[in-house]
Amino acid sequence: MMREAQKILKNVFGYDDFRPVQKDVVATMLAGDNAFVLMPTGGGKSMCYQVPSIIRKGTGIIVSPLISLMKDQVDALHSCGVRAAFYNSSLKAAEAREVLETLAAGKLDLLYVAPERLLTEAFLKHLHEIDIALFAVDEAHCVSQWGHDFRPEYVKLGLLHELFPNTPMLALTATADEHTREDIVRCLSLTNVKRFVSSFDRPNIRYLVTQKSNPLRQLLEFLHDWPDESGIVYCLSRKRVEEAAVHLQRHGLRAAAYHAGLPAKQREKVQDDFLRDRVRVIVATIAFGMGVDKSNVRFVIHHDIPKSIESYYQETGRAGRDGLESEALLLYGAGDISLVRKLIENVESQEQRRIEAHKLNSMVSFSEALTCRRRVLLGYFGERLKHDCGNCDICLDPPETFDGTNLARLALACVRELKGHFGMGYVVDVLRGANTSRIREHGHSKLTAYGSGSDLSQDEWTSILRQLVHHSFLVQDVSHHGALRLAKLADDILVAGQSVTLAKFKPGFRRGLKKISRQRNDDLFHKLAEIRKDLANREGIAPHAVLSDVTLSQMSLSLPSSIEAMSQISGMGQHKLETYGEAFLPILRQHEGEALEEKAKPTVETLKLVAKGSAANDGQLRTWDLYKQGLDSDDIAAQQGISETGLMKHFIALVRAGHHVDVEKVVGEYFSVIMEALDDADPHASLSEVKRDLPVEISNEAFRLALAWREAIGEA
15 binds ligand ADP (CB under 6 A): yes
Please give the Cα distance from 26 to 173 (Å, whole number).
16
321 binds ligand ADP (CB under 6 A): yes
39 binds ligand ADP (CB under 6 A): yes
41 binds ligand ADP (CB under 6 A): yes
Interface residue with ligand ADP among 5, 29, 38, 42 (CB under 6 A) is: 42
Q: Least distance from C-beta 389 to Zn ion, angstroms?
A: 3
- Please work out the total of residues on this chain that contact Zn ion, with binding judged by CB under 5 A: 6
Identify the three-state secondary structure at position 666. Answer: helix
Q: In angstroms, what CA-CA distances link 325 with 202, 204, 206, 298, 505?
A: 10, 5, 8, 7, 29
41 binds, among Zn ion, ligand ADP, none (CB under 5 to 8 A by kind): ligand ADP
Sorted by sequence, the CB contacts under 8 Å of residue 74 that are 6+ apart come out as 84, 85, 86, 110, 112
User: Residue 513 or 678: which CB sits closer to Zn ion?
Assistant: 513
Q: Which part of the chain contacts ligand ADP (CB under 6 A), choosing from 41-49, 366-374, 397-405, 663-671?
A: 41-49
Please give the Cα distance from 255 to 274 (Å, whole number).
9
CA 324 to chain centre: 8
295 binds ligand ADP (CB under 6 A): yes
392 binds Zn ion (CB under 5 A): yes
Q: Least distance from C-beta 639 to ligand ADP, angstroms?
A: 12
Asked if residues 360 and 308 have their Cβ atoms less than 8 Å apart, the reply is yes
User: Residue 242 or 325: which CB sits closer to ligand ADP?
Assistant: 325
**8-state DSSP, 297:** E
* CA nearest to 290, candidates 314, 310, 306: 314
User: Residue 321 or 359: which CB sits closer to ligand ADP?
Assistant: 321
Q: Least distance from C-beta 287 to ligand ADP, angstroms?
A: 20
Asked if residues 58 and 51 have their Cβ atoms less than 8 Å apart, the reply is no
Which residues in the 352-381 window bind Zn ion by CB under 5 A?
372, 374
Asked if residues 591 and 570 have their Cβ atoms less than 8 Å apart, the reply is no
Q: Least distance from C-beta 713 to ligand ADP, angstroms?
A: 39
Please give the Cα distance from 610 to 708 (Å, whole number).
10
User: Residue 15 or 234: which CB sits closer to ligand ADP?
Assistant: 15
Interface residue with Zn ion among 248, 389, 411, 447 (CB under 5 A) is: 389
Q: Least distance from C-beta 379 to Zn ion, angstroms?
A: 12
User: Residue 117 or 375: which CB sits closer to Zn ion?
Assistant: 375
Which residues in the 565-584 window bind ligand ADP by CB under 6 A?
570
44 binds ligand ADP (CB under 6 A): yes
- Would strands 84-87 and 169-173 be described as parallel, antiparallel, or unpaired? unpaired
295 binds, among Zn ion, ligand ADP, none (CB under 5 to 8 A by kind): ligand ADP
Please give the Cα distance from 521 to 3 (Å, whole number).
35
User: Residue 285 or 570: which CB sits closer to ligand ADP?
Assistant: 570
Please give the Cα distance from 427 to 360 (Å, whole number).
19
444 binds, among Zn ion, ligand ADP, none (CB under 5 to 8 A by kind): none
Identify the three-state secondary structure at position 194. Answer: strand
Backbone φ and ψ for 218, nearest 5 degrees, come out as: -60, -40
19 binds, among ligand ADP, Zn ion, none (CB under 5 to 8 A by kind): ligand ADP
Asked if residues 212 and 332 have their Cβ atoms less than 8 Å apart, the reply is yes
Q: Least distance from C-beta 322 to ligand ADP, angstroms?
A: 4
560 binds, among ligand ADP, Zn ion, none (CB under 5 to 8 A by kind): none
Asked if residues 109 and 126 have their Cβ atoms less than 8 Å apart, the reply is no
Backbone φ and ψ for 348, nearest 5 degrees, come out as: -75, -55
User: Residue 21 or 702: which CB sits closer to ligand ADP?
Assistant: 21
46 binds ligand ADP (CB under 6 A): yes
Which residues in the 593-652 window bind ligand ADP by CB under 6 A?
none
Q: Least distance from C-beta 207 to Zn ion, angstroms?
A: 7
Please give the Cα distance from 571 to 15 (Å, whole number).
6
Which residues in the 42-71 window bind Zn ion by CB under 5 A?
none
User: Residue 374 or 532: which CB sits closer to Zn ion?
Assistant: 374
183 binds, among Zn ion, ligand ADP, none (CB under 5 to 8 A by kind): none
User: Residue 15 or 703: which CB sits closer to ligand ADP?
Assistant: 15
Interface residue with ligand ADP among 5, 18, 28, 389 (CB under 6 A) is: 18
Q: Please, what sign has the CA dihedral across residues 315, 316, 321, 322?
A: positive
Where b means 16+ CB within 10 Å and e means fewer, 472-489 reads: ebbbbebeeebbbbbbeb
- Please work out the total of residues on this chain that contact ligand ADP, with binding judged by CB under 6 A: 18
Interface residue with ligand ADP among 19, 194, 254, 416 (CB under 6 A) is: 19
47 binds ligand ADP (CB under 6 A): yes
322 binds ligand ADP (CB under 6 A): yes
User: Residue 42 or 379: which CB sits closer to ligand ADP?
Assistant: 42
User: Residue 18 or 627: which CB sits closer to ligand ADP?
Assistant: 18
* CA nearest to 37, candidates 151, 161, 186, 198: 198
334-345 vs 350-367: helix crossing angle, rounded to 10? 170
- Would strands 230-234 and 59-63 be described as parallel, antiparallel, or unpaired? unpaired
Residue 671: count other Cβ atoms within 10 Å of its Cβ.
Answer: 18
Asked if residues 183 and 149 have their Cβ atoms less than 8 Å apart, the reply is no
Please give the Cα distance from 500 to 406 (Å, whole number).
9
549 binds, among ligand ADP, Zn ion, none (CB under 5 to 8 A by kind): none
Asked if residues 708 and 652 have their Cβ atoms less than 8 Å apart, the reply is yes
User: Residue 180 or 295: which CB sits closer to ligand ADP?
Assistant: 295
Q: Least distance from C-beta 30 to ligand ADP, angstroms?
A: 16
Q: Which part of the chain contacts ligand ADP (CB under 6 A), choosing from 149-157, 321-329, 400-408, 553-561?
A: 321-329
Cα distance between the two ends of the chain: 48
Q: Which part of the chain contacts Zn ion (CB under 5 A), choosing from 28-36, 385-393, 569-577, 600-608?
A: 385-393
Interface residue with ligand ADP among 26, 45, 277, 470 (CB under 6 A) is: 45
Sorted by sequence, the CB contacts under 8 Å of residue 685 that are 6+ apart come out as none
196 binds, among ligand ADP, Zn ion, none (CB under 5 to 8 A by kind): none
Q: Which part of the chain contacts ligand ADP (CB under 6 A), choosing from 36-44, 77-85, 297-305, 454-462?
A: 36-44
372 binds, among ligand ADP, Zn ion, none (CB under 5 to 8 A by kind): Zn ion
For every residue of 53-116, which 3-state class applies, written as one string? HHHCCCEEEEECCCHHHHHHHHHHHHHCCCCEEEECCCCCHHHHHHHHHHHHCCCCCEEEECHH
CA gyration radius, the chain:
29
User: Residue 39 or 281: which CB sits closer to ligand ADP?
Assistant: 39
Express the helix, strand and coil content of the chain in percent, nearest 5 each. 50, 10, 40
548 binds ligand ADP (CB under 6 A): yes
- Would strands 169-173 and 35-38 be described as parallel, antiparallel, or unpaired? parallel
395 binds Zn ion (CB under 5 A): yes
User: Residue 172 or 430: which CB sits closer to ligand ADP?
Assistant: 172
232 binds, among ligand ADP, Zn ion, none (CB under 5 to 8 A by kind): none
Q: What residue ranges bind ligand ADP (CB under 6 A)?
A: 15, 18-19, 22, 39, 41-47, 295, 321-323, 548, 570
Q: What residue ranges bind Zn ion (CB under 5 A)?
A: 372, 374, 388-389, 392, 395
